[in-house]
Structure 1
Amino acid sequence: MTPTVAIVGRPNVGKSTLFNRLVGKKLALVDDRPGVTRDRREGEARLGDLEFRVVDTAGLEESTEESLLGRMRAQTEAAIGDADVILFVIDARVGILPADRPFAELVRRSGKPVILIANKAEGGAGLAGAYEAYSLGLGEPVPLSAEHGEGMADLFEALMPYFPEPGDETEDEEEEPGKPLQVAIVGRPNAGKSTLVNRMLGEERLLTGPEAGITRDSISLDWTWRGRPFKLFDTAGLRKRARVEDKLEKLSVADALRAVRFAEVVVVLLDATIPFEKQDLSIVDLVEQEGRALVIGLNKWDLVADQPGLLKELKEKAARLLPQVKGAPVVPLSGLAGSGIDNLMKAVVQVHETWNRRIPTARLNQWLAEAIETNPPPAVSGRRIKIRYMTQVKARPPHFAIFGNQLDALPKSYTRYLVNGIREAFDLPGVPIRVSLRMGKNPFDRDRK
């Protein structure tokens, strides 16, 4: 079993920088101000020949349980409880602060192995702070610089005693069959994304609360539904671009957009009490541009479920406002109450299958002939545009190539007619459809010279 290493400490000591160094990627958001990290973020780390799961945590601060800081602290304490080894990080340049001591006591009481890290000690600048760290009673500090990669060999030696010798690992764990289906959950701030993910996982894994914009990093989590593996991405709320001025929020938004690009299916979560705001439509448009499969989730449905005919009305509104993803599933649910999650996942699996679908060329061209006969392309300068042939060039999302002459003069309205026809004839709801127009002879007609 892969060991788990948790990185803890007060805010702004460089925990996320160390996390990024260990996973070899800039997964965690990093900024000079304290308190950037709020949720636990996990990653696969490698140091020398040691492989382990590393967990980045929020900075430990004294606070009441009900406050946001208190809930962040609870997440960090949960990470300590799950860890096999704890890296307790201090800022060697600043030295030991009063805030470090109660949390040093917290990790000591956990009974877990603790390695004391004196970070920001590059060039020997923090050696005095490193020596001062002995007073915490956590053993000999390991001076290093997470930002510059200094001292990682010493960290390797400190971790080695807590890892099994090569060949000692048990072989009873079987890899889950199939690659996880990657699902990103996006939406405006306070739409209930983290609450929904917590309910799906069956634990308070992500920070939630009435405050908008709690989530900053895009957190990826492994989950199994009905025996099938999924990777869920909880993302920061996406506000109107004009309102995003803060540097940290820009980083959060960029992280959320990256999650959309890596996902296969995107669940756009709407607040059912105020659905289809302009920003909701912009987010759906972004998903379509990225070519991802789409499911629309109407969260907080328990607050409006007593309104008869509302679901039918909202489905009609979705079809009218979102023609580019016509037929996208619209699923009522409540992350807080836990209702509708099964229906949401059924829609996710179905739209993923549609996104991967390939249509035989013979069927396509049979449909194309009928579509052209019903509505022929217009004439240009007295000469009619000819569409000769059509084939699907790839899936994920479905992409079709149309061959003919004078296609550069084909009106966009006629291309839309073809796209809508393809969507309806071959049952492709909720996925973007791409069409390329290619002029020249039919490459599949061997008789033409």
Structure 2
Amino acid sequence: MKYYSYCKKNLLLEIKKFFSYSNKKYNNIGVAVSGGLDSMVLLHLLLNIFNELEVIHCNFNLRRNESNKDELFVYNFCKKNGIICNIKKFNLLKEKKFSIQMLARKLRYNWFNELLNNNKYECIALGHHFDDSIETFFINLIRGTGIKGLLGIPKCNNKIIRPLFNLKKEDILYYANKNKIEWRLDYSNYDTKYIRNRIRLNLNPILNSFSDSFYKGMKNTINFLNDENISIENNFNKICDEITIYKKINPFIWKINNKIIKKFNPLNFYLFRLFNPYGFYDIDSLVRILNSESGKKLYSKKYCLIKDKNYLILIEKEFLLKKNIFNIPNLKFLNNIYLPIKIKFFVKKFYKKYEYEKKEKNIFFIDFDKIKFPLFLRKWNKNDYFFYDKNKKKTLSKYYKDNKFSFIKKENTWLLVNNNNNIILIIKNCIDNRFKVTNKTKNILIINT
């Protein structure tokens, strides 16, 4: 009876080891309990260790009446054992745009993080075990991944902990039967439209036919990969510092030295590692943009990668698309208006033209009687133009190019425009010739930026 002799290992001792290795005393733990085998065994074990803990249950209403029965089962268990039970209901059946499993996972972890951020719990314990980690290993292997994707499910991820991490499914099943633990069976775990279920149902029987050395080998492999990943991460942080010209978090903008990246070997590995976290998965497209002309763009779901001369600019798409326009109805109520930049307006009577030639940086003199309110502050558009000398017209894109504006500088330059959309002033740069002070000027608008 080899199976039973292996599974008679002391699971309670294993869980105590987990917490002793963490070198931290937990007084307030939330336990995520679905009502299934793994989470009910986890709860049973933790009740033998901790005097105070609370249960967290998500009802996604995916199996309608069965989901409600799961909720009632968990609630009744907690009531019987004097445990506080926190239940949150979701309605995923209304969502059509996303994968149901991915959306459920996102909502579940969002709730967990909300509870942790509000300091309701020191940590939240989940019932994932080593078989789950093996399944994740093969899922990511099939989809294509780097070292990080082969690490399986982490034992700890900030304040999310998995005390059953080192245990096999058969250990947990044997413990449940021996201790007469009741649980709910989720029949969706047998639905082969989900890749995890196909691996679980088809691959696991093959793996289980091997000796226990397979699990030992898998643990060693994942541990080795984890050590290698740590080494790569440490080296990668140095590489990021080396290639970074400029990085800002809000809004997210990362300016990268393109020349240095081209020298990396193997190039594909570094490109994948750099841009995969931002949703860029096509290596060929990343290689092409390295060698493309300035202005070339590559999009992911949330980000845009832009070639800008000898640099790459990684930026949030939301920032690119945000073309806010700020209305200045008049100068009387200027203090009550929110504007995105510091700008001051003063009106004076014209005296002598030479006194209003631009002498100080960021101070501009406008013929006040030529402007028509309301004025607007906005960013540039492709069709914008202005007059830089008498009747000579120039597009703003040409002006930016001639003056070697970087992508970031272009996107951060504001325009002051008339109510008919004519450009009055390129803020901190130059005045449109149509609005400059002349000998016929009667009133001067002084703009200090």
TM-score normalized by structure 1? Answer: 0.26
TM-score normalized by structure 2? Answer: 0.26
Q: Whose helix proportion is higher, 1 or 2? A: 2
